[in-house]
Amino acid sequence: MVTRTRALSGHARNVLSALLDAGGRWSHGYELAKSANVKSGTLYPLLIRLEAQGYLAAEWQTANEGGRPPRHAYRLTPSGIALARANPPGQVLTDAARRRPATT
């Protein structure tokens, strides 16, 4: 597994939150795009990256309906669950904000 050195983007946080809300069930890309409000051009590279880093498990699933192609499904691994819980949506800090002293 790769150790993260950069803050997660807002899109990544939304996708992780959607997967966390799925409660361990497999989720498909279309379903994730809708629930996380992320376009497919952003979603799939993100899913590939999170899987390569060990935060997601992925598998091809056959469709229940005849004639439909298999679909790729995703769910969080234990390290992905920890990452999702540590990075809820809406708490994205920019580098400039991290360096700025806190005000009262």
pTM of whole model > 0.75? yes
Sheet holding 56-61, edge to edge: 27-28, 71-76, 56-61
According to the model, what pLDDT value does residue 95 have?
A: 52
Output DSSP code: residue 15: H
Q: Which residues contact 27 (CB under 8 A, 6 or more apart)?
A: 18, 19, 73, 74, 75
At 3-50, the pLDDT tens digits run 556 789 999 999 999 999 999 999 999 999 999 999 999 999 999 999
Q: Which residues contact 48 (CB under 8 A, 6 or more apart)?
A: none
